[in-house]
Chain A
Amino acid sequence: MGKQATRITVNGKPHARVVEARLTLADFLRHELGLTGTHLGCEHGVCGACTVLVDGRSARSCLIFAMQANGCEVITVEGLTPDRGLSVLQQAFMDNHGLQCGFCTPGMLITLTELLRDNADPTEQEVREALTGNLCRCTGYAGIVKAALDAAQRLRNGSGA
């Protein structure tokens, strides 16, 4: 099986590994780097649990080989988390019951991080459309949508959590 030297910066930290060509980025993050916050729910690119930011754009880490991310900057849920406490978006999820089992949550947080970066004042419909690439079986989405709108407002107000 072909192997390739791969350099990926994850959450600001550079990693250089020789990886099998077929190793997915998701498995690289989870099993090579031990960043198990990124979850795999379908491995066919629909559920969105494995969503990470690759060079600032949301992407399915189950559909990318690690070597394809050579030279890229990757952000995972661990990279969204402050050293102490929770980010504004994470806190909004907690305050608005935006998670139940928590399995889809890392992907939700990544998708919404991208949305709120690009659109500081989204409508509810815009939030819902942004989330169509992320499935949640527990919450019925209400708490997630509310959390996103709440976080957007807190960020616009410049307040912390």
Chain B
Amino acid sequence: MGAKHFGARVKRLEDPALLAGRGRFVDDVKLPGVLHACFVRTPHAHAMVRGIDGGAAMVMPGVHAVLTADDLPDPMRRTPIPMLTPNPAIAVARTQTVLARDEVNYVGQPVAVVIADSRYIAEDAAAALIVNYDELDAVADCRIGVQDGAPRAHSDLQSNVIARFPLAYGDVDAAFAGAAHVFEDMLWQHRGGGMALETRAVLASHDPASDALTVWSGTQTPHLGRGMLADLLDRNVETIRMIAPDVGGGFGPKAIFYPEEAVIPAAALKIGRPVKWIEDRREHFLCATQERDQYWSMAIAVDADGKILGLRGKMLHDSGAFVPWGIIMPYIAAVTVPGPYVVPAYRLETVVVLTNKVPTTPVRGAGRPQAVFAMERLLDRVARELSLDRAEVRRRNFIQPEQMPYAVGLLFRDGKPLIYDSGDYPKGQQAALTLANYESFRERQRAALDQGRLIGIGIGNYVEGTGLGPFEGVTVRVLQNGKVAVATGATNQGQGIRTTLSQIVAEQVGCRIDDIVMTVGDTGAIAQGVGAFASRQAVNAGCSAQIAGQTVRSQLIALAARALGVNEGDVDLEDGQAVATTGNKPTIPFDELARLAQGIPGVSLPAGQTAGLEHTAYYTPSQAAYCSGTHVAEVEVDHMTGGVKVLNYTVAHDSGRVINPLIVDGQVQGGVAHGIGNALLEWMQYDANAQPLTTTFADYLLPMATDVPTCAIAHVETVNPLNPLGVKGAGEGGTIPAPAAIISAIEDALSPFNVHFAETPLTPERIVAALRAAGAYERLFAA
């Protein structure tokens, strides 16, 4: 038997090319005759477009076209981008047209595009284009937007409230009426970005001879994008090939379809030459979707022992100017609140509000960090008020492993009842606490205090619905040179999906992992696909790879048995050949089997043999796969400057069976870094007119190498009983509870001053302001 791949720390197949500078990102694709695009974007958050004068731009040397909405083909000229995630709660499914016609609703919304010989010339021409606007009042804050008489984000809508949905189970009023204690808190999480290091990118080329339109896009979802583009161009979907080549990070914002992905192909069709657009970082800050602004007003009812009786509250979600991904995020947030705890009664009223800011769509975590922040902050409050240890309060409320599968009492975003498939939350928390030396922390804290250092510890728990459907596909095919082709609609923005799927297929088919020829993110390689979001690819594509691999394995064995004249039960597959385990153990390599499987032209195949050695599987999960975990953060706070240093960070997580610990640990560590950014640094700020204020990496701070410690990670594997691999997703869990754990740790470090925090990011000035308000400095200087 060949090397054992599943579960092994297999080094990534993606790495050699990327390390050598031979990656192939969209901007690395060179096409002869390519032209370059620059978009003209509104500088106003809300305005009517009164006229566009492209005359001066059009006559500049090197300029090939200036296109406005009227120059685009039907139906994209007028028809908004399709919305793929309907929900009856959405009052108006408002999405944008690819180039604004009359009204613009957020700064950066595209109104025209210039196509020129070089990007440099295109930018010159874009600056020479004149757009006349009549400014309108803008909604910058959803808390204002929800009020009667507030300005309207869209002039034709009567209200900025685009959706309102209650979720409830149990007798909440009775729970609160009979509670020993009720505590209330207001909580807020900021708006930030995905901030992949590679900005968005689109290249389109049309071949008139075949009428084939090829689009390279730095997207997480090429199959979805191809469908959208086909609709917007009124074109047969089979004439469009969308390729997501190497993509430099995704994190959610690259999952949706953007105007540029329609306009650039339209321009290439119109001009008859390839056209490329590479987003610059400022455009990314303005126009790539963002996430997190939610305002929670929550109450928790507990008994005298700190056991939860009920939760109730309201949540306000800032959707930005449109709803391209529906109300997925606020919905996920609303159903994630109960988490790993027994919550007998729950009621949340969610209100989704339009503002004149770039739309919000999922960014790593997708609503869950906000929900976990609300729940965990409330439990910290319970612990404080009841003088209980924070770990103990959680312990008293955990769903127990013997209660699995556990029905929460809500519907999840996958349309199925929210039923946790598996998990051992007490064990997970204990694993994290042990690894973090939680029990001895108070001693460490006292010792630090003796040296004048304030350190603190915090805990965050979560349950995350991952692995969402509807499906992902994998084709496995043995080639006539003996290599094994694998194609999938899953996409790679750094998750190592090529390696992960290769591990699964190599083990099933019995080939060398280096002999797999993988195509990811190419609509030309597999008929149907969905893409990367919701930590879904290891579950969906992984299971498809397993099923397709098993089928091809059966085909190989049947054919080899016939060729070698042995029973099927006496054939093994290893290292690219079939080996009989009986007689003188004859072998036949895959290349010969592949040729046999092609048959002889004109000759009927033997009974039972199918054409070729090939199978495509589309695994369709019956419901989400619920991963879980516990984070423990240890921080030091400088009470004079408000500076926070994350000293130690511990994660125990359960993503079911681990296919590749190297990759899963990398996902966890990277997710934590994102969570540290959310907790302490990243804040997309707007002024009262909804003008973005933080549009460079000097203003919007990403975590640096000195901000992120190397995490201690424990894997707590409970096998998912619902899918053939037993796996759950792992891409977002690193981010989800991090803000909750870190803010809790900061509060703990500052416990001598009794200050409390309910928002992120917790910047130094906010910490100093809270300490000042609490009289900390008077006490310190008096002492």
A94-B15, A101-B198, A102-B248 known; A137 vs B702 contact (CB < 8 Å)? yes
User: Of A2-10, A33-41, A152-160, which binds chain B?
Assistant: A33-41
In the bound complex, do residue B706 and residue A99 qualify as a contact, i.e. CB atoms below 8 Å apart? Answer: no
- Which of B16, B194, B198 counts the most A-chain CB atoms under 10 A from its CB? B198
B515 at the interface (CB under 8 A from A): no
**Which residues of chain B come closer than 8 Å to A145, judged between CB atoms?**
705, 710
B496 at the interface (CB under 8 A from A): yes
- Which of A46, A78, A93 counts the most B-chain CB atoms under 10 A from its CB? A46
A42-B696, A94-B15 known; A142 vs B21 contact (CB < 8 Å)? no
The digit string for A70-89, where 1 denotes a CB below 8 A from any CB of B, is: 00000011101100001000
- Contact partner, B697, options A42, A131, A139, A143, Cβ 8 Å: A42
**Which residues of chain B come closer than 8 Å to A101, judged between CB atoms?**
196-198, 246-250, 493-494
The residues in A between 40 and 74 inclusive whose CB is less than 8 angstroms from any CB of B are 40-44, 46-47, 49
B281 at the interface (CB under 8 A from A): yes
Closest to A136 in B: B197
A17 at the interface (CB under 8 A from B): no
A41-B197, A138-B249 known; A102 vs B14 contact (CB < 8 Å)? yes
B666 at the interface (CB under 8 A from A): yes
The digit string for B649-663, where 1 denotes a CB below 8 A from any CB of A, is: 000000000000011
B665 at the interface (CB under 8 A from A): yes
**Which residues of chain A come closer than 8 Å to B674, judged between CB atoms?**
137, 140
In the bound complex, do residue A94 and residue B28 qualify as a contact, i.e. CB atoms below 8 Å apart? Answer: no
A97-B666, A139-B666 known; A105 vs B704 contact (CB < 8 Å)? no
In the bound complex, do residue B120 and residue A39 qualify as a contact, i.e. CB atoms below 8 Å apart? Answer: no
A135 at the interface (CB under 8 A from B): yes
In the bound complex, do residue A103 and residue B12 qualify as a contact, i.e. CB atoms below 8 Å apart? Answer: no
**Which residues of chain B come closer than 8 Å to A86, judged between CB atoms?**
16, 19-20
Closest CB of chain A to B380's CB: distance in Å? 25
**Which residues of chain B come closer than 8 Å to A78, judged between CB atoms?**
20-21
B27 at the interface (CB under 8 A from A): yes
- Contact partner, A44, options B195, B662, B696, B708, Cβ 8 Å: B696
**Which residues of chain A come closer than 8 Å to B462, judged between CB atoms?**
none
A100 at the interface (CB under 8 A from B): yes
**Which residues of chain A come closer than 8 Å to B697, judged between CB atoms?**
42, 44, 46-47, 135
B199 at the interface (CB under 8 A from A): yes
The residues in A between 123 and 144 inclusive whose CB is less than 8 angstroms from any CB of B are 127-129, 131-132, 134-144
**Which residues of chain A come closer than 8 Å to B281, judged between CB atoms?**
41-44, 47
B251 at the interface (CB under 8 A from A): yes
- Contact partner, B198, options A41, A109, A143, Cβ 8 Å: A41
- Contact partner, A37, options B23, B248, B280, B698, Cβ 8 Å: B23
B22 at the interface (CB under 8 A from A): yes
In the bound complex, do residue B27 and residue A143 qualify as a contact, i.e. CB atoms below 8 Å apart? Answer: no
**Which residues of chain A come closer than 8 Å to B249, judged between CB atoms?**
100-101, 103, 137-138
Cα–Cα, bound, A38→B199 (Å): 14
**Which residues of chain B come closer than 8 Å to A46, judged between CB atoms?**
696-698
A113 at the interface (CB under 8 A from B): no
A41-B197, A41-B198 known; A144 vs B705 contact (CB < 8 Å)? yes
In the bound complex, do residue A132 and residue B706 qualify as a contact, i.e. CB atoms below 8 Å apart? Answer: yes
**Which residues of chain A come closer than 8 Å to B734, judged between CB atoms?**
140
In the bound complex, do residue B669 and residue A94 qualify as a contact, i.e. CB atoms below 8 Å apart? Answer: no
The digit string for B277-294, where 1 denotes a CB below 8 A from any CB of A, is: 010110000000000000
Closest to B660 in A: A97
**Which residues of chain B come closer than 8 Å to A150, judged between CB atoms?**
none
In the bound complex, do residue B494 and residue A132 qualify as a contact, i.e. CB atoms below 8 Å apart? Answer: no
B562 at the interface (CB under 8 A from A): no
Please report the total number of A residues contacting B with Cβ < 8 Å. 56
A25 at the interface (CB under 8 A from B): no
Closest CB of chain B to A7's CB: distance in Å? 22
B18 at the interface (CB under 8 A from A): yes
Closest CB of chain B to A18's CB: distance in Å? 15
B711 at the interface (CB under 8 A from A): yes
Closest to B61 in A: A1
- Contact partner, B21, options A37, A100, A137, Cβ 8 Å: A37
**Which residues of chain B come closer than 8 Å to A15, judged between CB atoms?**
none
Closest CB of chain B to A91's CB: distance in Å? 8
Cα–Cα, bound, A109→B196 (Å): 19
Cα–Cα, bound, A30→B697 (Å): 23
Closest CB of chain A to B26's CB: distance in Å? 11
**Which residues of chain A come closer than 8 Å to B197, judged between CB atoms?**
39, 41, 47, 49, 101, 103-104, 135-138
Closest to A139 in B: B670
Closest CB of chain B to A66's CB: distance in Å? 12
**Which residues of chain B come closer than 8 Å to A146, judged between CB atoms?**
710
In the bound complex, do residue B195 and residue A137 qualify as a contact, i.e. CB atoms below 8 Å apart? Answer: yes
**Which residues of chain B come closer than 8 Å to A138, judged between CB atoms?**
197, 249, 494, 666, 670
Cα–Cα, bound, A78→B249 (Å): 22
B672 at the interface (CB under 8 A from A): yes
The residues in B between 505 and 554 inclusive whose CB is less than 8 angstroms from any CB of A are none
Closest CB of chain B to A68's CB: distance in Å? 17
Closest CB of chain B to A8's CB: distance in Å? 17
- Which of B23, B30, B247 counts the most A-chain CB atoms under 10 A from its CB? B23
In the bound complex, do residue B11 and residue A95 qualify as a contact, i.e. CB atoms below 8 Å apart? Answer: yes
- Contact partner, B199, options A41, A77, A134, Cβ 8 Å: A41
Cα–Cα, bound, A23→B281 (Å): 18
B25 at the interface (CB under 8 A from A): yes
Cα–Cα, bound, A14→B249 (Å): 34
Closest CB of chain A to B737's CB: distance in Å? 15
In the bound complex, do residue A100 and residue B246 qualify as a contact, i.e. CB atoms below 8 Å apart? Answer: no
Closest CB of chain B to A38's CB: distance in Å? 7
Closest CB of chain A to B738's CB: distance in Å? 11
In the bound complex, do residue B120 and residue A103 qualify as a contact, i.e. CB atoms below 8 Å apart? Answer: no
Closest CB of chain A to B516's CB: distance in Å? 18
B81 at the interface (CB under 8 A from A): no
Closest CB of chain B to A160's CB: distance in Å? 15
Closest CB of chain A to B628's CB: distance in Å? 20
B215 at the interface (CB under 8 A from A): no
- Contact partner, B19, options A44, A47, A109, A141, Cβ 8 Å: A109
Closest CB of chain A to B494's CB: distance in Å? 3
Closest to A109 in B: B19
In the bound complex, do residue A105 and residue B18 qualify as a contact, i.e. CB atoms below 8 Å apart? Answer: yes
The digit string for A14-27, where 1 denotes a CB below 8 A from any CB of B, is: 00000010110000
B42 at the interface (CB under 8 A from A): no
**Which residues of chain A come closer than 8 Å to B706, judged between CB atoms?**
128-129, 131-132
In the bound complex, do residue B494 and residue A131 qualify as a contact, i.e. CB atoms below 8 Å apart? Answer: no
A30-B27, A101-B249, A137-B702 known; A143 vs B19 contact (CB < 8 Å)? no
Cα–Cα, bound, A40→B248 (Å): 11
B429 at the interface (CB under 8 A from A): no
In the bound complex, do residue A131 and residue B704 qualify as a contact, i.e. CB atoms below 8 Å apart? Answer: yes
10 A-B pairs in the complex with CB atoms less than 8 angstroms apart: A39-B197, A49-B197, A86-B19, A95-B11, A100-B249, A103-B198, A131-B705, A131-B706, A145-B710, A146-B710
**Seed contacts A93-B15, A100-B494; 15 additional CB < 8 Å A-B pairs:** A36-B23, A36-B27, A42-B696, A43-B280, A76-B21, A86-B20, A103-B196, A105-B19, A128-B706, A137-B249, A137-B702, A139-B673, A140-B671, A141-B673, A142-B669
Instruction: List the interface of chain A (C-beta within 8 A of B).
Output: 20, 22-23, 30, 34-44, 46-47, 49, 76-78, 80-81, 86, 90, 93-95, 97, 99-106, 109, 127-129, 131-132, 134-146
A-B CB proximity, top 7 nearest: A37-B21, A103-B248, A102-B18, A101-B494, A100-B494, A140-B673, A77-B21
